[in-house]
């Protein structure tokens, strides 16, 4: 017989199916520990019967189906053997066809990938509650989540969990209580909170170093990447949900949010009240976002602040005590070849550019208007560097308020103009 190693189950499948129809004596020779039973249609039973006869007789096996020349007589033995797995080993198989993740390379979703990512960050995830009381009466309570990012007790969370805002000034909601995964409780102090990004930093004091999570990078994320959300929805601590990245640059304007321009990571992880401030984690167990909100009455629409943006916000907290945002007073639009083509079709005077940022509107009295910007301008250079996106302009400005920037713009009929704009502080301007 040709029963060798991993081919045993596949060959028994063909033998068993054939014997069930043809009444062959193969059933008498089956091993009860490895036998595989299958139901098949009459044409398939006929084919398997022919295949089984060839295997049992030791003769060369050829296709029982009539094939046109030059494929007549094409051997099909490998189609039975190539994907075979011994039934005795089926119980050892993981979700990716392996018993563990030892052979799982970068980007591979193994059986334990999500569990490993959650366990790497889980001890650093905390439950945060803020209570306001008067003369012993509980007036208001806010719940959320957070992540310890430094063993000294520095915690990332959402601003709306721990603070209210009067104009741009943050007012702590009340007593901040922080509960760790191991049950320890601490009183927290709100160090900083930013209304526009909805990011806050809380500090707790411990006599021993605390578990801290690693920060990753959100710039390498792609739609379809697996992510894990951790937090305390409805104060249910140690809750883990998983999903994928749906969009890496969902704009605040897409969500109908006014004010300054922001970008979010969109995921389909389950997020509920109490998840705010909790971490969004990649399969390497690194924080790549801070969960901030979901769409009410909709499933699979959750949003997080990218960790790259959060790092800049925290750096601003350390440097300036708040987030400093330069304001130009421009409404801008990223250009791509398709948009440029449409604009050229509408107006033959549109400048000949391959990339850049279009200025559809200039705010009256703004630094941009004072610098001489006009609606229809296309920004091709900012601060001496070529630009093709709003994000690049924001990155070039950084936190530089009151600093002049040279801007190269192209106008109708390919007129090139150099302007000098001095950004204002966004909070001071509004």
Instruction: Show Cβ contacts of residue 41 under 8 Å, excluding neighbours closer than 6 positions.
Output: none
Peptide bond into 70 cis (omega under 30): yes
Q: Decide if pLDDT at 282 tops 50.
A: yes
5: left (phi > 0), else alpha (psi -120 to 50), else beta?
A: left
CATH class of segment(s) 120-320: mainly beta
Distance CA 286, CA 289 (A): 9
CATH class of segment(s) 326-425: mainly beta
User: What pLDDT, on the 0 to 100 scale, is given for residue 138?
Assistant: 61
16, 246, 276, 366: which is the annotated catalytic residue?
A: 276
The question of whether 198 is a catalytic residue gets the answer yes
More confident residue, 379 or 170: 379
User: What pLDDT, on the 0 to 100 scale, is given for residue 361?
Assistant: 95
Instruction: Show Cβ contacts of residue 423 under 8 Å, excluding neighbours closer than 6 positions.
Output: 326, 327, 328, 367, 397, 400, 401, 402, 403, 405
Q: Decide if pLDDT at 12 tops 90.
A: no
User: What pLDDT, on the 0 to 100 scale, is given for residue 390?
Assistant: 94
User: What pLDDT, on the 0 to 100 scale, is given for residue 107?
Assistant: 59
Q: What percent of the chain has pLDDT over 90?
A: 60
Q: Decide if pLDDT at 268 tops 60.
A: yes
More confident residue, 259 or 204: 204
Return the top range by mean pLDDT from 98-102, 147-151, 273-277.
147-151
Q: Decide if pLDDT at 95 tops 90.
A: no
Instruction: Give the dihedral of Cα atoms 35, 40, 46, 52; nearest 10 deg.
Output: -20
Q: What burial letters (b/e) apply to 347-378, b meaning 16+ CB within 10 Å? A: eeebbebeebbbbeebeeebbbbebebeebbb
Q: Decide if pLDDT at 153 tops 60.
A: yes
- Strand partners for 126: 146
194, 198, 424, 427: which is the annotated catalytic residue?
A: 198
Return the top range by mean pLDDT from 76-80, 103-107, 242-246.
242-246
Distance CA 390, CA 262 (A): 11
More confident residue, 309 or 72: 309
More confident residue, 319 or 172: 319
Mean pLDDT of 53-82: 42
Residue 104 CA, chain-centre distance (Å), reads 20
The question of whether 46 is a catalytic residue gets the answer no
> Where do the CATH 2.40.10.120 domains begin and end in the chain?
120-320
Q: What burial letters (b/e) apply to 66-85, b meaning 16+ CB within 10 Å? A: eeeeeeeeeeebeebbeebe
> Where do the CATH 2.30.42.10 domains begin and end in the chain?
326-425
How far are the Cα atoms of 20, 21, 35, 42, 169 from residue 26, in angstroms, in the given order? 9, 11, 11, 19, 83
Distance CA 1, CA 40 (A): 24
Q: Decide if pLDDT at 78 tops 60.
A: no
- pLDDT band at residue 63 using 50, 70 and 90 as cut-offs: very low
Half-sphere exposure of 426 (CA within 13 A, CB side): 21
Cα 372-376-378 angle, rounded to 5 deg: 80
> pLDDT tens-digit profile of 411-426?
999 999 999 999 999 8
Instruction: Give the dihedral of Cα atoms 394, 396, 402, 405; nearest 10 deg.
Output: -110
User: What pLDDT, on the 0 to 100 scale, is given for residue 109?
Assistant: 79
Mean pLDDT of 177-198: 94
Query: CB of 271 within 8 A of CB of 229?
Result: yes
- pLDDT band at residue 393 using 50, 70 and 90 as cut-offs: very high
> pLDDT tens-digit profile of 343-361?
999 999 999 999 999 999 9
- pLDDT band at residue 29 using 50, 70 and 90 as cut-offs: very low
- pLDDT band at residue 32 using 50, 70 and 90 as cut-offs: low
Tell me which DSSP letter residue 29 carries: G
The question of whether 160 is a catalytic residue gets the answer yes
User: What pLDDT, on the 0 to 100 scale, is given for residue 147?
Assistant: 98
Strands 175-179 and 226-231: unpaired
Return the top range by mean pLDDT from 79-88, 228-237, 239-248.
239-248
Helices 42-57 and 8-22: angle between axes, nearest 10 degrees? 120
14, 160, 424, 427: which is the annotated catalytic residue?
A: 160
Q: For the chain, what is the mean pLDDT?
A: 80
Q: Which of 118, 162, 126, 150 is nearest to 215 (CA)?
A: 150
């Amino acid at each position: 017989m040709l029963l060798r190693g991993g081919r045993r189950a596949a060959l028994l499948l063909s033998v068993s199916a054939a014997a069930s129809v043809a009444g062959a004596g193969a059933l008498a020779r089956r091993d009860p520990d490895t036998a595989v039973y299958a139901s098949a249609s009459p044409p398939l039973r006929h084919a398997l019967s022919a295949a089984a006869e060839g295997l049992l007789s030791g003769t060369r096996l050829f296709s029982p189906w009539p094939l046109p020349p030059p494929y007549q007589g094409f051997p099909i033995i490998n189609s039975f053997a190539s994907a075979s797995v011994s039934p005795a080993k089926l119980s050892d198989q993981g979700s990716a066809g392996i018993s563990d993740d030892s052979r799982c390379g970068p980007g591979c979703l193994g059986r334990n990938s999500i569990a490993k990512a959650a366990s790497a960050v889980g001890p650093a995830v905390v439950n945060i509650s803020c209570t306001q009381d008067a003369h012993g009466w509980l007036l208001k309570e806010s719940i959320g989540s957070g992540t310890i990012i430094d063993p000294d007790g520095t915690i990332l969370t959402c601003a709306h969990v721990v603070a209210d805002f009067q104009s741009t000034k943050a007012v702590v909601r009340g007593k901040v209580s922080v509960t760790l995964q191991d049950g320890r409780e601490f009183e927290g102090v709100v160090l900083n909170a930013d209304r526009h990004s909805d990011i806050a930093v809380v500090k707790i004091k411990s006599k021993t170093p605390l578990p801290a999570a690693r920060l990753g990078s959100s710039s390498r994320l792609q739609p379809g990447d697996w992510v894990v959300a951790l937090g305390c929805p409805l104060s249910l601590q140690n809750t883990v949900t998983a999903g994928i990245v749906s969009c890496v640059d969902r704009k605040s304007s897409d969500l109908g949010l006014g004010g300054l321009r922001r970008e979010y990571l969109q995921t389909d992880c389950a997020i509920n009240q109490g998840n705010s401030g909790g971490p969004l984690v990649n399969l390497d167990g690194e924080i790549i976002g801070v969960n901030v909100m979901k769409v009410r009455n909709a499933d699979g629409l959750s949003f997080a602040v990218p960790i790259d943006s959060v790092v800049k916000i925290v750096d601003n907290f350390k440097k300036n005590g708040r987030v400093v945002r330069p304001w130009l007073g421009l409404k801008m639009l990223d250009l791509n070849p398709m948009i440029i083509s449409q604009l050229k079709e509408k107006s033959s005077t549109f400048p000949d550019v391959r990339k850049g940022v279009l200025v559809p509107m200039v705010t009256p009295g703004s630094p941009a208007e004072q610098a001489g910007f006009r609606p229809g301008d296309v920004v091709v250079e900012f601060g001496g560097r070529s630009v093709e996106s709003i994000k690049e302009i924001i990155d070039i400005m950084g936190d530089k308020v009151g600093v002049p920037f040279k801007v190269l713009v192209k106008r109708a009929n390919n007129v090139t103009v150099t302007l000098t704009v001095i950004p204002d502080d966004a909070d001071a301007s509004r």
